[in-house]
Amino acid sequence: MKYIVWFKELDKNSIPIAGGKGANLGEMYNLGLPIPPGFCITAQTYKKFIEEAGIKIKINNLLKNLDINNTAKLQQTAEEVQKLIVSTKISSDIEEAIKHAYEILGSDVRKASELIDSKETFVAVRSSATAEDLPEASFAGQQATFLNVKGKTEVVKAVRDCWASLFTARAIYYRQKNKFPHDKVLISAIIQVMVNSEQSGVMFTVNPATNNPAEIVIEAIYGLGEYVVGGKVNPNLYLVDKKTRTIKTAEIKKQEVGLFRDEKGNNLERSIPAHQQKQQVIPDTIIKELARYGQKIETHYGQPQDIEWAVEKGQIYIVQSRAVTTFKENKPREEAVLEKGQIILHGDTAASGIYSGKVKIILSPEELNKISAGDILVAPMTTPDWVPAMQKAGAIITDEGGLTCHAAIVSREMGTPCIVGTEQGTKILKDGQLITVDASKGVVYQGKVEIVQKKKAASAVNVANLKTRTKIKVILDLPEIAGKAAASGADGVGLVRSEIMIASGGIHPAEYIRQGKPEAYVKLLKSGIGRIAKAFKDKPVWVRCSDMRSDEYRNLQGGSKEPKETDPMIGWHGIRRLLDEPEILRAEFTAIRELHYEGLKNIGVMLPFVIRVEEVQKAKAIMREVGLEPVKAIDFGVMIETPAACWIIEELCKEGISFVSFGTNDLTQLTLGIDRNNQKIAPLFDELHPAVLGEMAKVIKVCRKFNVPTSICGQAGSKLEMARFLVHQGIDSISANIDALDAIRQVVADTEKKVYHGKRF
């Protein structure tokens, strides 16, 4: 169980661990917004605390039969429960985890350098409530926030105070009134660096006075935001055209005093120097930058936003953002409507989407024929040879698997809602049972549940038209969706996993060779690859030679002859296997050579799982044998997915290759020693681990020296933070899943502006 989760690990699906506020902060962080850094102490930590300390039962007893309409009694009980919590010791492992994370936050000078003025960082400790087993419930504003907290011991104390605030009289009243069981509501504490605001204010992405959606309104004052919200001073008011970001009007008001934080963390009122009192509080550049963030947040959430912002040393921070539904009668959040429906299973979102249908449990590949179109496929795990059955399914649920397992990869591409890592899906669900899968949230409901999906507002800019130096490519394994993928405007295909088309042919590559029918294998590959290459016309399509793990294709004809390996992930697959059975590789190269000769010159090849230069040399020799000169006639690249490949990168470059492409799924697995398919350790699988990033930075540096283009085709290429990192390193292309292309293109364009200082491409 994780006590601490950093913002970068959170997103909108993280409500069960970080509450609404924490999930929102994670989502904004990953969207590339400048939010002050921080982490959350998971809701499960709170649960563990009350359970282990034995106070859960005591709390329940105090609340049992409470008459909430008896105000005095309600108040007294609330105080008793809170006292019980704040007087209970937090176990030392939780306490240490909080202190440690706080220390890391303080020393993370890379991100926080501008914010941290001494060793002890000022943080805000906020509450973020979450309703266990309830799809959506907003308890915002009911629990405590502690500002300007400094020092490890104080932070731990504030966390416990946050937990206690789950039982204010108001919160107890609200829950009981709305029939929420108290023990189903958990709380996550969020620790976030405090911005020492020199200027601050609020921004509305729709003009609140006129409801005009084409205008953004920004209010700004000197000092901390409390004086804007409290109405103590008159803020500057800027009206910005949302589309062009021109400042239509700037109303400057005189500001004589402001609220500022002193060294000890006290907020003190100070006079504003006379020469500043009538000046525009923030320069035009910051106004426009703020408007850009405002528009970005609104586009992302598909709703107008009310945003709190701050500026410290010229750097903008987005402090909070809320959806504004009605301007005129700003309804209190307590009136949020709850979706009905009982959640019966949780897992990780592999491919988002919502689907209701009947369960079909498949425990082994022999049962695959049981699947009818529209069924919900529930299995311990799927392998790529299940693709035809997966294509029939309306949704997919697996017990095992992380976000880079093949079930996740394939369903994402097919656009089939998929939840992986439920641990017990095959046990809890029953054949024929009607369920609703809300894969976007990683939950399964009993029965058919109506889930209202927020409509995404059309983006004001056509992202596909953004010109970037870094090429944005798509990952494409299913030839059937080549047309759709090409229409996305991607700059090419950064990875075609040939295994997926092989699986749909039903015969194992080794079996074609055993039966003396390599031409049938060539034909199959030509058909799939040809379809993709044609759809992309002149744009490059990089096809990976088959990378078949011995456990994943046993269901294909001849698959049972594959060796039984203890660790197929690090076993006989990729280039090492192809060189042991060069007839397979020869057939694959032949297919590509024939397509090349037929005029599809945009196809390139790449070798999987390389660990030695000799492997590249041997593969090149086979390509020459079939009649193509590697590198010269055709792009010939190497996947960087083993630490070994990172260490020998200089030799690989010297050998002569057309490009390298990071396979971060394997690279992370091998660098961190974490089986990517193992659900138990999935939370530890982190492509942004410094060790992985360090390897990638090194490889890009060396490749740039040798003029070898660099690319990424692992799942992490669809992560905003990874894209940002790679643009900073100077990567040449990024491949993402089709549904992530726009977001990646946008973040690449934004990052390039910083890295290449507004140069046009």
Q: Which of these segments, 66-74, 554-562, 660-668, 736-744, binds ligand PEP (CB under 6 A)?
A: 660-668
Q: x/- site string to Mg ion, residues 602 to 641, per CB under 5 A? A: ---------------------------------------x
In terms of CB distance, is 207 or 665 closer to ligand PEP? 665
Assess 664 for contact with ligand PEP (CB under 6 A).
yes
Q: Which of these segments, 118-126, 268-276, 621-629, 663-671, binds ligand PEP (CB under 6 A)?
A: 663-671
Q: Which of these segments, 78-86, 143-151, 219-227, 658-666, binds ligand PEP (CB under 6 A)?
A: 658-666
List helix spans (H) across 187-251: 226-229
Q: Give the residue from 721, 747, 732, 744 showing the smallest Cα distance to 488.
A: 744
Assess 663 for contact with Mg ion (CB under 5 A).
yes
With CB cut-offs between 5 and 8 Å by kind, which of ligand PEP, Mg ion, none does residue 713 bind? ligand PEP
Q: Which of these segments, 109-117, 387-395, 408-416, 660-668, binds Mg ion (CB under 5 A)?
A: 660-668
Secondary structure (DSSP) of 733-749: EEEE-GGGHHHHHHHHH
Supply the minimum distance, in Å, between the C-beta of residue 32 and ligand PEP: 23
Separation in Å, CA 276 to CA 196, 225, 314: 19, 18, 16
Of positions 501, 713, 734, 736, contacts ligand PEP by CB under 6 A: 713
With CB cut-offs between 5 and 8 Å by kind, which of ligand PEP, Mg ion, none does residue 714 bind? ligand PEP
C-alpha–C-alpha distance, residues 173 and 160, integer Å = 21
Assess 494 for contact with ligand PEP (CB under 6 A).
no
In terms of CB distance, is 348 or 499 closer to Mg ion? 499
Supply the minimum distance, in Å, between the C-beta of residue 571 and ligand PEP: 13
406 is catalytic: yes
Of positions 413, 594, 666, 695, contacts Mg ion by CB under 5 A: 666
Q: What are phi and psi of 370, to 5 degrees?
A: -70, -20
Amino acid identity for residue 204 in this structure: F
What b-and-e string marks burial along 627-638, b requiring 16 or more CB atoms within 10 Å of the CB? ebebbeebbbbb
Question: Within 13 Å, how many C-alpha atoms sit on residue 275's CB side?
Answer: 0
List helix spans (H) across 113-269: 152-164, 169-177, 226-229
Q: Which of these segments, 439-447, 510-518, 664-672, 753-761, binds ligand PEP (CB under 6 A)?
A: 664-672
Assess 663 for contact with ligand PEP (CB under 6 A).
yes
Map the footprint of Mg ion across residues 231-250, applying CB under 5 A: none
Assess 666 for contact with ligand PEP (CB under 6 A).
yes
With CB cut-offs between 5 and 8 Å by kind, which of Mg ion, ligand PEP, none does residue 205 bind? none
Assess 630 for contact with ligand PEP (CB under 6 A).
no
In terms of CB distance, is 393 or 712 closer to Mg ion? 712
Cα 303 versus chain centre, distance: 20
What is the 3 state secondary structure string of 76-96? HHHHHHHHHHHCCCCCHHHHH
Separation in Å, CA 145 to CA 166, 265, 400, 641: 11, 15, 38, 44
- Torsion angle (degrees, nearest 10) of CA 131, 135, 141, 146: 50
Q: What are phi and psi of 413, to 5 degrees?
A: -70, -35
C-alpha–C-alpha distance, residues 619 and 607, integer Å = 8
In terms of CB distance, is 131 or 474 closer to ligand PEP? 474
Please report the sign of the dihedral spanned by the C-alpha atoms of residue 476, residue 478, residue 483, residue 488. negative
Of positions 13, 121, 642, 665, contacts ligand PEP by CB under 6 A: 665
Question: Within 13 Å, how many C-alpha atoms sit on residue 198's CB side?
Answer: 12
C-alpha–C-alpha distance, residues 499 and 488, integer Å = 23
- Torsion angle (degrees, nearest 10) of CA 349, 414, 404, 454: -30
In terms of CB distance, is 444 or 543 closer to Mg ion? 543
Map the footprint of ligand PEP across residues 402-441, applying CB under 6 A: 404
Of positions 541, 714, 726, 733, contacts ligand PEP by CB under 6 A: 714
Supply the minimum distance, in Å, between the C-beta of residue 407 and ligand PEP: 12
Supply the minimum distance, in Å, between the C-beta of residue 85 and ligand PEP: 45
- Burial label for 99, CB within 10 Å (0-12, 13-18, 19+), is middle
Supply the minimum distance, in Å, between the C-beta of residue 497 and Mg ion: 9
> How many residues are present in the chain?
761
Question: Is the Cβ–Cβ distance between 234 and 253 less than 8 Å?
Answer: yes
The tokens of 735 are what? 């491949």
Assess 401 for contact with ligand PEP (CB under 6 A).
no
Assess 641 for contact with ligand PEP (CB under 6 A).
yes
Supply the minimum distance, in Å, between the C-beta of residue 187 and ligand PEP: 37
Supply the minimum distance, in Å, between the C-beta of residue 526 and Mg ion: 24
C-alpha–C-alpha distance, residues 421 and 455, integer Å = 28
- Burial label for 87, CB within 10 Å (0-12, 13-18, 19+), is exposed
In terms of CB distance, is 192 or 642 closer to ligand PEP? 642
Assess 735 for contact with ligand PEP (CB under 6 A).
no
Supply the minimum distance, in Å, between the C-beta of residue 648 and ligand PEP: 18
With CB cut-offs between 5 and 8 Å by kind, which of ligand PEP, Mg ion, none does residue 497 bind? ligand PEP
Map the footprint of ligand PEP across residues 524-553, applying CB under 6 A: 547
Amino acid identity for residue 303 in this structure: Q
User: Strand, coil or helix: what is 466?
Assistant: coil
- Write out the catalytic residue numbers: 406, 713
- Chain residues binding Mg ion by CB under 5 A are 641, 663, 666
- Chain residues binding ligand PEP by CB under 6 A are 404, 495, 497, 547, 641, 663-666, 713-714
